[in-house]
Structure 1
Amino acid sequence: MRMSRTALLPVALLLLCAIPLASAATWALVVLLVPVLVAAWVLTVGVDVDDDAITVRSLIGRRRVPWSHLAGIRVAPRGDLWLVTTEATEVRLPVLRVRDLPRLAAVSGGRIPSPGPAD
């Protein structure tokens, strides 16, 4: 599960807006790094679910949580999802929100229960 590639459209617009500023002075070329880093983040960040584990990918690395180490999922007040491990650590799922819980439950092969309607 990755971030939608349509998120690259604002990045392209940011790049277009940064080009005049970057061409004004040599030191301003650093401004072009911002859209490049944001594009790299959009293309990299995500969550991979397979038979052995959940892998959380970020811009600077990844964290693999085996199913045997997963204690549950915590929903933060803003709707962010966090994996809770048996070691009492938490790993944020960067592109997933509460609305994505049914899809996450489906790709987990039943390891994560599908949320039902609120009583």
Structure 2
Amino acid sequence: MSSPDTVRFRHSQVIWVAGVIALFGALPLAGSRWFLAPLLLIPLTVVIWGWRAGTDADRTGLRLRGLVGNRRIPWSEVVELSGDERGRAQARLADGRVAPLPGVRVADLPRLVAASGRGLDAPAQ
């Protein structure tokens, strides 16, 4: 369970609503022939991903949530927060890797930094 000072970033809710609509739209097709039933897995996967995926930030670090798993990154491993050419936020880690931050846009970076409890120029301790 997350603490009250956790800031959550999620993709637009329109994604999972569109997945639900696609799921209901695929029902007649999937019900017409048995071999078309697996088509329901596609919109179902979109619904689950849209509902679950995102980034949680608190004073201890980042939690990146995907379709089936999550990854915890402490603030001590984050060297830089930046954006890519499409306006999505990413974190450069101490080992040189870049971790995309699901659900976080470049405009959200000040809220993300505020969740860390440090200022923009404060070094990691």
1:7 maps to 15
Give the CA RMSD over aligned residues.
1.7
SS of equivalent to 1:110: coil
1:18 maps to 26
Higher relative contact order (CA 8 A, sep 6+): 2
Letter in 2 for 1:2: R
What is the Cα deviation at residue 60 of structure 1?
2.9
Q: Distance in 2 between matches of 1:100 and 1:41?
A: 21
**Count of matched residue pairs:** 113
With structure 2 as the length reference, what TM-score do the two structures score? Answer: 0.81
1:54-104 Cα deviation digits (max 9, x unpaired): 111111322211111110112111111111111111111011111212221
1:68 maps to 76
SS of equivalent to 2:79: strand
SS of equivalent to 1:60: coil
With structure 1 as the length reference, what TM-score do the two structures score? Answer: 0.84
What is the Cα deviation at residue 22 of structure 1?
0.5
The equivalences for 1:34-113 within 5 A come to: 34-110=42-118, 113=120
What is the Cα deviation at residue 105 of structure 1?
2.3
Q: Distance in 1 between matches of 2:59 and 2:13?
A: 26
SS of equivalent to 2:100: strand
Gaps of 5+ in 2: 1-8
